[in-house]
Amino acid sequence: MESGLGSLLKIILTNLDVLACYASVKAIEHPSPVSAGRWLSYWVIYSIITLVELTFADIIKWIPLWLYAKLGFVCWLMYFNGAAYVYRVYLRPFYMNPQHTINSLLAPMKKTLEQNGGSFKDLIQKPALSIGNVGQLATDLLVSSMKAERIGYLDDPFVLPCVGNDAFGPIPCGDLALPLEAYESPSNGLTLLQQRSPVVMGRMVEFAKNMANFAAASGKKHVVLLSGLDFGKWQKIDMSSGLQIYYLSSTTPDGRDDHCERLGWKRLQEYNPAQRCWKYLSTLAEGNTTLENNFPFEDDLEEEDYYPSLPFASLFSCFKAKGLKVTCLLCYCSEGDNMQDAFHLAEAACRLLELNPSTFRGNEESSWVIPLSWQTVYGPPPDVSIF
């Protein structure tokens, strides 16, 4: 009898799957995203159940009434909006809560400077891919010239995974470059974060919150963001003093900073904290809402929305909301060979942090050490031993 009931339940469960597949197809064709979201939630949860069954099959077969319990649970998921409830109450908070990420964000390779009794005065974090990748190139230049040591990798679910060759080793040694890396320069009391991969679309604010939480938990006080801006958006061109550095600071509500002004830089004129997108970013950063999808679509962006739509704006807002001092160093550039722009931005970072590039251990002609990755299109050749 038990065998017959078990077979009957298996048939019923199989038919439920067929019904679920049919309902899912209807949801795909349905214009409402609510229906599609409901069935996506169902299949996520059902996949988890299946994985658990496959993994613990030898144990589950001894659980009394397992098939009856599964049948009732699956029916509740399908027909009583249970899937949406489980996802909203249990799965989504676990996935979305930045604290789960920050607890294991840094995967250290060795003891950090703080553990060795030292201290950092700043943290440099460049935003996600910007125009010409100037922020990334400048960070590479600083890491290479300062002989900064890689101390670990950062794991964040909102950054697209990628892997590449080590950007700095003089010879291939089997080390790999990952999307987010942390470097230390003990002699300069500096931490540098390098980002080599873009953020998942629609997750920039959540990524920025993770970075802000990490910086605050690490005891940092000042964050410097390096980024390029689209030369085509430059409204007031002034080449009288060469390449111009623009800045944006959290020191004052209007973004001005006396130290940056004394260095001859200009505040980003388009910054207006009362403008709708800047205001919306501040609201998100402060945690008053999680509706990031309400941010205007790219096709709906107006001229004044360009700057707050860039990655550096989300990072600036989230670091500021965390109570950290933030200074954005920005330069206008175009796609192409941006090495000169990278030198310009790296020199600006040194001036801001009162570092002297002449003290870096460069070659005879320059104090800057050109990263090995700049010598070839795809970085240095791989270590053949990995094959």
pLDDT tens profile 20-43: 554 555 555 555 545 566 777 778
**Shared domain check, 370 and 320:** yes
Give the CATH number for residue 257: 3.40.50.10900
Span 196-225, average pLDDT:
88
Flag whether pLDDT at 66 surpasses 70: yes
317 plus 200 within the same structural domain = yes
Output the pLDDT for position 164. 79
Residues 13 and 128 in one domain: no
Identify whether residues 181 and 256 lie together within a single domain. Answer: yes
Q: Which of the listed residues 95, 128, 144 is the one where a domain comes to its end?
A: 95
Same-domain status, 106 and 175? yes
97: number of Cβ within 10 Å: 11
Place of tokens 């607890």: 103
- The answer to whether 196 and 162 have CB atoms below 8 angstroms apart is yes
My answer on whether 47 and 109 are in the same domain is: no
Q: What is the structure's pLDDT at 149?
A: 87
The pLDDT value recorded for residue 117 is 38
Number of domains composing the chain: 2
- Tell me the HSE value of 219 on the side-chain side, using a 13 A CA sphere: 9
Paired sense of beta strands 325-333 and 246-249, if any: antiparallel
Residue 246 predicted with pLDDT over 60: yes
Among the candidates 95, 122, 152, a domain finishes at 95
Do 352 and 223 share a structural domain?
A: yes
Statement to judge: residues 284 and 324 lie in one domain:
yes
Domain boundary among 75, 95, 115: 95
Q: How far apart are CA 94 and CA 86, in angstroms?
A: 12
How much is the pLDDT for 383? 60
- Are 25 and 106 within one domain? no
For residue range 271-309, what is the model confidence (pLDDT) as tens digits?
988 888 888 888 888 876 544 445 544 445 566 677 888
* Residue 87 in tokens: 């996802």
Q: Measured between alpha carbons, how far is 282 from 316 in angstroms, rounded to an integer?
A: 9
**101-115 pLDDT, tens digit each:** 333 355 565 544 444
Do 71 and 104 sit in the same domain of this protein? no
Answer yes or no: do 83 and 145 share one domain: no
The answer to whether residue 142 is domain-embedded is yes
Q: Provide the β-strand partners of residue 228.
A: 331
Higher pLDDT, 352 or 235: 352
299 domain-assigned:
yes
Say how far apart CA 23 and CA 15 lie, in whole Å: 12
pLDDT of res. 319: 92
Q: Does residue 382 belong to any structural domain of this protein?
A: no
Tell me the average pLDDT across 153-169: 83
Residue-range definition of the domain harbouring residue 301: 98-374
212: tokens are: 């802000």
Confidence at residue 297, expressed as pLDDT on a 0 to 100 scale: 44
